[in-house]
Structure 1
């Protein structure tokens, strides 16, 4: 299939699944929105379930491309770096609401036939988070008596809580701007600052 047609189909599918969920999503509407025949869609994806799975993978691909997590570094001022990256993340999910909704639906309300696959995929994705926060903590010049593993767990907890709040706000305020999310970002960073107080070697200088 031509790459342009494939992207058109998957983009239309992500929107349809995000808005209506798997059961109510219409392959007729996906075909219409992507300007291809329904027969072509089923020729390449065979079933609605396989189209859903391909759409999830494409949504993840978009996320990874736009956010480029592998290039993130935390040298220098950690709080400023986190502020920058949090803003990027919130802006991405705000600008790509269909991608966010699609992924949330896939992991919380997957088609019965794909439940096991989505569970495994979610497990793979969440297994990356500890590595991400470990990278952050490893870059910190901690005092010798600080338990890095505990600090890492604290960071993960704060991040999950405030990211959930930000996503919920974006969902309930679809016309909101990233500027409106800044209070949530700033509160998250303030909590991190409090968590780091007295734990860095520089604090005793």
Structure 2
């Protein structure tokens, strides 16, 4: 894989994008290296010159995606915003920006996180676990809990919010599945999500803080 790392950036980008999209669309078992080399515009022998086999390529893509999400997304989250709802709005804007900048990585990651990851090497499972922990830590770091209502359990409020976020994301994935990126009105979905966040804020924040 060291040979792959020394490639010119444009050629490396073509191979990465072709591989990420193929695995994202077909899954590991059905993914075709023939399709990858065709899309990347290289010979099949060259792909296996850079990567010993399909599994090594897949593991490289997993590590590359985790690193990209950490560097391009998590490292840019603003933890100085103490209001949880407002932080979520900023995180949402940032996520869409990074998604559009790294479309292949995020599509691959979406299918990866929903798949059975038990077959991955322990080092990759550890990296994934750490990425999850880092993500949650950034979302909830230094949140001002005094903004929330005092007459109900704040732990339960956070759980309800988490359930909503998970359900909304799943609905969005199903709704956008198969659509081309160019055809998606991202602003419409961001606006809708912000409206839901405002409802959560009215419902769960102290009245004088809304």
Q: TM-score normalised by the shorter chain: which range applies?
A: 0.7 to 0.9
Match of 2:96 among 72, 90, 96: 90
Aligned partners of 2:158 and 2:62: how far apart in 1?
Answer: 29
Aligned partners of 2:128 and 2:84: how far apart in 1?
Answer: 28
TM-score for both structures, normalised by structure 1 = 0.74
Aligned to 2:168: 162
Contact kept? 1:158, 1:188, Cα under 8 Å:
no
1:92/1:184 CA distance change after superposition, 3 Å? farther
Aligned partners of 1:48 and 1:27: how far apart in 2?
Answer: 7
Contact kept? 2:148, 2:204, Cα under 8 Å:
no
Q: How does 1:37-186 map to 2 (within 5 A)?
A: 37-75=43-81, 78-93=84-99, 96-109=102-115, 113-114=119-120, 122-135=128-141, 137=143, 139-142=144-147, 148-174=154-180, 175-186=183-194
Are residues 1:18 and 2:30 paired? no
Aligned partners of 1:111 and 1:66: how far apart in 2?
Answer: 23
Contact kept? 1:107, 1:119, Cα under 8 Å:
no
Q: Over residues 111-146 of structure 1, what are the superposed CA-to-partner deviations in whole Å (9 max), with x where a residue is unaligned?
A: 885387776554443333431333153x34347957
CA RMSD of aligned residues (A): 3.5
Structure 2 unaligned runs (5+)? none
Aligned partners of 1:126 and 1:77: how far apart in 2?
Answer: 21
Contact kept? 2:147, 2:205, Cα under 8 Å:
no
Structure 1 unaligned runs (5+)? none
Provide the aligned length of Structure 1 versus Structure 2: 201
1:14 offset after TM fit, Å?
0.3
Aligned to 1:7: 13
1:11/1:141 CA distance change after superposition, 3 Å? same
1:76 offset after TM fit, Å?
6.1
Are residues 1:198 and 2:206 paired? yes
1:28/1:143 CA distance change after superposition, 3 Å? closer
Moved more, 179-188 or 61-70: 61-70
TM-score for both structures, normalised by structure 2 = 0.73
Aligned partners of 1:9 and 1:152: how far apart in 2?
Answer: 41
Contact kept? 1:107, 1:122, Cα under 8 Å:
no
